[in-house]
Chain A
Amino acid sequence: MRTGLRSAIGIAGAAALIALAGCTTDPSVEPAEAEGGAQEEAPAEEWFDQEVYDQQFKQREVVPEGPEDKPYLQMINPEMGDTSEFKSDGGKKMCFANASISNPWRQTGWITMNEQLKELKKDGVITEMETRDAQDNDDTQIADIDYFISEGNCDGFIISPNSTAAITPAVERACKTDKPVIVFDRGVETDCAVTFIHPIGGFAWGIDTAQFLIDNLSEGDKVVALRILPGVDVLEQRWAAADKLFDEAGIEVVDYFTEGDPAEIKKVVSDELAKGDVQGIWMDAGDGAVSAVEAFEDAGKDYPVMTGEDELSFLRKWKDTEMTALAPVYTNFQWRTPLLAAEKIFKGEEVPTEWVLPQSPITAADLDEYLDRNEGMPDGHYAKFGGEDMAGFPQVWQDRVIP
Chain B
Amino acid sequence: MKTHLRRLDTTALVYLALVGVLIISAVLVATTGRSFFSPGNIRDILTGMSVLGFVAIGQTLVILGASLDLSVPYVMSLASLVAAQTMNGNDAMVLPAVLLTLVVTACIGLANGLIVTVLGVHGFVATLGVGLMLKGYLDTNYQGTEGSVPWSFQLFGATGIGPVPISTIVMLALAGLVGFILVRTRFGHHLFAVGGNSEVARLSGVRQRLPLIGAHIGSSVCAGLAGLLLASRLGVGSPTVGSQGSYDLLSIAAVVLGGTVLMGGRGSIWGTIGGVAIFAVLDNLMSVMQFNPFLKDVIRGLVIIIAVALYARRRVIARRIRFIRSPTGPIIAAGSEPNGLEPNGLEPNRSEADISEAAGAHNGTGPVLDQESAPDQESASGHRSAPDHERSQG
Contact = CB atoms under 8 A, between A and B. Distances in A.
A–B contact via C-beta, under 8 angstroms: yes
Contact of B161 (A18, A137, A147): A18
Interface string B287-318: 10010111010000000000000000000000
A47 B144 contact: yes
B245 A137 contact: yes
Interface in B114-167: 139, 142-148, 150-151, 154-155, 158-164, 166
Nearest to A153: B34
Contacts of B44: 143, 146-147, 151
B85 interface: yes
A300 interface: no
A152 B87 CA distance: 34
Contact of B144 (A13, A36, A137, A232): A232
Which one of A40, A45, A166 has the highest number of Cβ atoms from chain B below 10 Å of its Cβ?
Answer: A166
Interface string A1-41: 11011001101110110110011010111011001110111
B144 to A, nearest CB: 5
Contacts of B183: 2, 5
B256 interface: no
Contact of B34 (A35, A45, A143, A151): A151
B383 interface: no
Contacts of A270: none
27 contacts: A11-B176, A15-B164, A15-B169, A28-B40, A28-B160, A29-B158, A36-B91, A40-B148, A102-B293, A135-B296, A137-B244, A138-B230, A138-B238, A139-B51, A139-B244, A146-B40, A146-B44, A147-B41, A163-B145, A163-B238, A166-B145, A166-B235, A166-B236, A168-B235, A169-B158, A236-B144, A402-B294
B158 A27 contact: yes
B169 A19 contact: yes
B236 A37 contact: no
Contact of B170 (A1, A19, A147, A166): A19
Given A9-B180, A22-B161, A133 B241 contact: no
Nearest to A239: B143
A85 interface: no
Contacts of B38: 150-151
B107 interface: no
B139 A231 contact: yes
Contact of A166 (B4, B47, B142, B238): B238
B209 interface: no
A317 B172 CA distance: 56
A42 interface: yes
Given A36-B151, A45-B143, 17 more contacts: A1-B7, A4-B8, A5-B183, A11-B172, A28-B40, A28-B160, A28-B163, A32-B151, A36-B150, A39-B235, A101-B293, A139-B241, A146-B40, A146-B44, A151-B41, A163-B145, A403-B290
B43 A28 contact: yes
Contacts of B47: 143, 146
The 10 closest A-B pairs by CB, nearest first: A150-B40, A12-B176, A151-B40, A166-B234, A9-B176, A27-B159, A1-B4, A165-B145, A39-B148, A137-B244
Nearest to B147: A42
Interface residues of B, number: 66
A276 interface: no
A360 interface: no
Contact of A39 (B40, B89, B177, B180): B89
A118 to B, nearest CB: 16
Interface of B: 4-5, 7-8, 34, 38-41, 43-44, 47-48, 51, 85, 88-89, 91, 139, 142-148, 150-151, 154-155, 158-164, 166, 169-170, 172-173, 175-177, 179-180, 183, 230, 233-236, 238-241, 244-245, 270, 287, 290, 292-294, 296
Contacts of A100: 293
Interface in A138-160: 138-140, 142-144, 146-147, 149-151
Q: In the complex, which of the residues B34, B43, B48, B139 has the most CB atoms of chain A within 10 Å of its own CB atom?
A: B43
Contacts of B8: 1, 4
Contacts of B179: 5, 8-9
Nearest to A19: B169
B179 to A, nearest CB: 6
A37 B144 contact: no
A233 B144 contact: yes
A43 interface: yes
A36 B244 CA distance: 28
Interface of A: 1-2, 4-5, 8-9, 11-13, 15-16, 18-19, 22-23, 25, 27-29, 31-32, 35-37, 39-43, 45-47, 100-102, 130-133, 135-140, 142-144, 146-147, 149-151, 162-166, 168-169, 229-233, 236, 257, 402-403
Nearest to A151: B40
A22 B7 CA distance: 36
B218 to A, nearest CB: 17
A131 B290 CA distance: 6
B152 to A, nearest CB: 8
Contacts of A11: 172, 176
Contact of A138 (B162, B241, B290): B241
Contacts of B91: 36
B39 A150 contact: yes
A15 B173 contact: yes
A27 B166 CA distance: 10
A231 B143 contact: yes
Contact of B173 (A12, A43, A138): A12
A150 B41 CA distance: 8
Contacts of B142: 231
Contact of B290 (A28, A130, A150, A163): A130
Contacts of B88: 40, 42
B42 to A, nearest CB: 10
Contacts of B180: 5, 9
B150 A139 contact: no
Given A139-B241, A143-B47, A169 B154 contact: yes
A39 B177 CA distance: 35
Given A47-B143, A151-B34, A29 B159 contact: yes
Given A137-B245, A169-B235, A42 B161 contact: no
Among B4, B41, B287, the one with the most A-chain Cβ atoms within 10 Å of its Cβ is B287
B32 to A, nearest CB: 10
A19 B161 contact: yes
A175 B181 CA distance: 45
A164 B145 contact: yes
Contact of B143 (A12, A31, A165, A230): A230
